[in-house]
Amino acid sequence: MRRVTIKDVAKAAGVSLGTASRVINANTSVDPAIRRKVQDAIAALRYQPDAVAQSMRRRSTRTIGAIVRDITVPALASFVQAAQQALHDEGYALLIACSGDRRDHELELLRLLSQRRMDGVIMTTAAEDDAELAAVRAALPMPVVMLDRTPPGAFDALLLDHREGMRQAVEHLLRLGHRRIALITGATGVHPARARVQGFRDAHAAAGVAIDPTCLRTGSFTDQSGFLEASALLGRPDPPTAIVAGGIDMLSGVLRAIQARGFAVPRDISVIGSADTDLAMLASPPVTVVRWDYAELGRAGARLLIDRLSGGAALPPRQILFPTEFISRGSCAPPSRQHC
Binding site for its own copies (CB under 8 A): 3, 48-53, 55-56, 61, 63, 70-74, 77-78, 80-81, 84-85, 88, 93-98, 111-112, 114-117, 141, 252, 255-256, 277-279, 282-284
Cβ at position 230, least distance to its own copies in Å: 14
By the 8 A CB rule, do 174 and 181 touch? yes
Our CB check for its own copies shows the closer of 135 and 315 to be 135
CA proximity to 47, closest of 15, 21, 83: 21
Question: Among 12, 15, 147, 230, which residue sits at the site for DNA (rule: CB under 7 A)?
Answer: 15
Query: What span, in angstroms and rounded, lies between the C-alpha atoms of 40 and 18?
Result: 17
Residue 175 interacting entry, from its own copies, DNA, none, C-beta within 5 to 8 Å by type: none
Contact 233, 217 (CB under 8 A): yes
Q: Which is nearer to DNA, 34 or 228 (CB)?
A: 34
Q: How many Å apart are CA 132 and CA 166, to the nearest integer?
A: 31
- How far apart CA 127 and CA 189 sit, in angstroms, is 5
18 interacts with DNA by CB under 7 A: yes
The answer for residues whose C-beta is within 8 angstroms of residue 58's C-beta and 6 or more apart is none
Output 47 or 200, the one with its CB closest to its own copies: 47
In the complex with DNA, the residue whose CB is nearer, 22 or 196, is 22
Inter-residue contact 140 to 115 (CB < 8 Å): no
Radius of gyration of the chain (CA): 26
Provide the minimum distance between the beta carbon of 261 and its own copies in the complex, in angstroms, as a whole number: 15
Least distance CB 197 / DNA (angstroms): 45
Q: Are 247 and 191 in contact (CB under 8 A)?
A: no
Interface with DNA in residues 33-92 (CB under 7 A): 34-35, 47-50, 53-54, 56-59
Nearer to its own copies, 208 or 262 (CB): 262
**Smallest distance, Å, CB 29 to DNA?**
3
Residue 294 one-letter amino acid = Y
Residue 150's nearest CA partner among 102, 93, 195, 214 is 195
Which positions touch DNA (CB under 7 A)?
2-3, 5-7, 15-19, 21-22, 24-25, 27-31, 34-35, 47-50, 53-54, 56-59
